[in-house]
Amino acid sequence: MTDKGKEPILFIINPIAGIRSKTNLENSIRRHLDTKRYEPEFRYTEYKGHGTKLARKAIKRGVQKIIAVGGDGTVNEVGAALVGKDAALGIIPVGSGNGLARHLRIPVRVKEAINVINHGKVVNIDYGLVNGIPFFCTCGVGFDAFVGMRFAESEQRGFITYVKTTLSEYVHYKPKKYRLKAGKTKVASRAFLVTFANAAQWGNNAYISPHADIQDGKLDICILAPFPRFRALNIGYRLFSKRLHKSPYLRVLRTDKAILKRKKAGAVHYDGEPAVMKKKITLESVHRGLKVIVHEHSKWK
């Protein structure tokens, strides 16, 4: 607690997340936050990985609530510092996709998201590890990882830019062959993409695995087989209408651990953040290893 008897709370803001202006964001947070209860502190990220460092320093100072203000990348950085800790992650989703926030039913309007922080409850959720790196929403290889790499290279942000990148890259993309082991199940086939889902969606309500349970200790492995181009619109429709799991081109496995192998090192994304990883990728679900702030009446306990 602070000298004033208030609870310290840190807001870690990514100034370049999404496309919305951040000019009045700090003032908006102060205006709607319960300042009789909380003593807010604001820090801005300045480079990749800065959010993790800021959160770790706050934990050492005894801060118990740390709020990621940004998109899934910002949530990933802050959350990476909080796994296995007593401090809780809060989210004010102002990014491009906001996949984890949407899964947890955290509103994208700042005022309403702060209301969750003011009145919400703390619950424990699962997170995943890809080659030892935490992710909280989804991780994947294939087309989505390839698009993520191109999107990161773009100077523009937002959903429209992501859609344009997706369409332009789809024409040239060639599905890759993967070998996957999940428990006793082994799969060797070409795939358009393979997504490991801790949460149900990539973001922007694009549901790759609508029935993914963020507290079951499992990852949903979504293997999307190559499909004819004339089926692309149907695949997209199913994705945004929570029906992709009914497509004959999608296979879903559920497991707590998996190993994926490909011919060579290449693109991977975790929570939308692109990276290059070796040809062998290990994945694991960590059961209820992260504390998060959700709506007081949410279904999670």
The DSSP string of 85-130 is: SSSEEEEEE-SS--HHHHHTT--SSHHHHHHHHHH-EEEEEEEEEE
| Closest to 299 (Cα-Cα) out of 214, 206, 220 | 214
Residue carrying the six token digits 């709370």: 9
For residue 158, give both structure tokens. 């937002």
**pLDDT band for position 264 (50/70/90)?**
very high
Give residue 2's pLDDT: 55
Give residue 171's pLDDT: 76
Per the CB < 8 A criterion, the answer to whether 297 and 211 are in contact is: no
Per the CB < 8 A criterion, the answer to whether 98 and 110 are in contact is: no
Give the number of other CB atoms < 10 A from CB of residue 278. 12
Q: Give me the mean pLDDT over the 156-182 stretch.
A: 81
For residue 188, give both structure tokens. 């060797």
DSSP 3-state assignment of 142? Answer: strand
Span 205-253, pLDDT tens digits: 999 999 999 999 999 999 999 999 999 999 999 999 999 999 999 999 9
| Closest to 258 (Cα-Cα) out of 139, 103, 147 | 139
| Closest to 297 (Cα-Cα) out of 69, 102, 104 | 104
Give the number of other CB atoms < 10 A from CB of residue 36. 8
For residue 107, give both structure tokens. 């509103």
Please give the C-alpha separations between residue 141 and each of 149, 177, 190, in angstroms, as whole numbers. Answer: 11, 11, 12
Distance of CA 252 to the CA centre of its chain: 19
Distance of CA 98 to the CA centre of its chain: 7
- Number of helices (H), then strands (E), in the chain: 8, 16
DSSP 3-state assignment of 211? Answer: coil
Give residue 146's pLDDT: 84
Which percentage of the chain shows pLDDT scores above 90?
83
Give residue 93's pLDDT: 96
**Dihedrals φ, ψ of 19, to 5°?**
-120, -5
Does the global pTM surpass 0.75?
Answer: yes
**pLDDT band for position 1 (50/70/90)?**
very low
Give the number of other CB atoms < 10 A from CB of residue 206. 20
Lowest-pLDDT range, 34-38, 236-240, 272-276? 272-276
Report d(CA 301, CA 289) in Å as an integer: 14
The domains located in the chain, with CATH, are 7-119 (3.40.50.10330), 133-287 (2.60.200.40)
DSSP 3-state assignment of 287? Answer: strand
Report d(CA 153, CA 103) in Å as an integer: 27
**pLDDT band for position 164 (50/70/90)?**
confident
Look up residue 182 and give its amino acid. A
**pLDDT band for position 150 (50/70/90)?**
confident
Which percentage of the chain shows pLDDT scores above 70?
93
Report d(CA 47, CA 177) in Å as an integer: 35
